[in-house]
């Protein structure tokens, strides 16, 4: 496989904003060889790790996802443009707030695969935080969530 394919693998993971399976990446790169795609992914993971990049290429249960290193994300989150919460993301946020801490896999099971997009949107807006928990993540709300929705006691949300 060429360096060109490796570029395509990286670009596909970057643009998707959601986990991609090896098969999805292979299809996007016009490659019928999942083994070589895995090899490129592993090389990219090592490159990001070796240069102590703020970007992480991590394996999740649904495939591979390009995301930010936690400490870096906290420091630069304010640079992300403020935007309104979509209706679908709001429904996902309500589910997370009510069941927190909740496994990301459970949210996806209830809300469908698009939940990854909504979870990313909510993380970017600092309404939720994620913590690694095996092959999934635990999701919970942040103080910004309480402040934004004027909630004094998160227990009130869980009782609804």
Cβ proximity of 141 and 130 under 8 Å: no
Distance of CA 147 to the CA centre of its chain: 23
The CB-based long-range contact list for 71-77 (8 Å cut-off, 24+ gap) reads: 73/123, 77/124, 77/126
The answer to whether residue 158 scores a pLDDT higher than 60 is no
Residues 58 and 86 in one domain: no
User: pTM for the full model?
Assistant: 0.52
The enclosing domain of 131 has a CATH number of 1.10.10.10
Residues 90 and 120 in one domain: yes
The answer to whether residue 57 scores a pLDDT higher than 50 is yes
Cβ proximity of 119 and 86 under 8 Å: no
Tens-digit pLDDT profile for residues 111-130: 988 899 899 989 988 899 99
* Domain region containing 36: 3-68
19 lies in a domain? yes
Residues 44 and 91 in one domain: no
């Amino acid at each position: 496989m060429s360096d060109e394919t490796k570029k395509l693998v990286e670009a596909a993971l970057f643009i998707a904003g959601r986990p991609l399976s090896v098969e999805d990446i292979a299809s996007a790169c016009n490659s019928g060889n999942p083994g070589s795609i895995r090899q490129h992914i592993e090389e990219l993971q090592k490159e990001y790790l070796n240069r102590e990049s703020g970007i992480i290429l991590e394996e999740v249960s649904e495939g591979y996802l390009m995301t930010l290193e936690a400490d870096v994300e906290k420091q630069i989150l304010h640079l992300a443009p403020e935007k309104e919460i979509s209706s679908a993301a709001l429904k996902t946020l309500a589910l997370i707030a009510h069941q927190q801490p909740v496994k990301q896999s459970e949210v996806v099971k209830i809300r469908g695969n698009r939940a990854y997009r909504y979870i990313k949107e909510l993380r970017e807006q600092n309404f939720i935080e994620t913590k690694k928990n095996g092959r999934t993540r635990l999701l919970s709300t942040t103080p910004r969530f309480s402040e934004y929705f004027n909630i004094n006691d998160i227990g009130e949300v869980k009782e609804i």
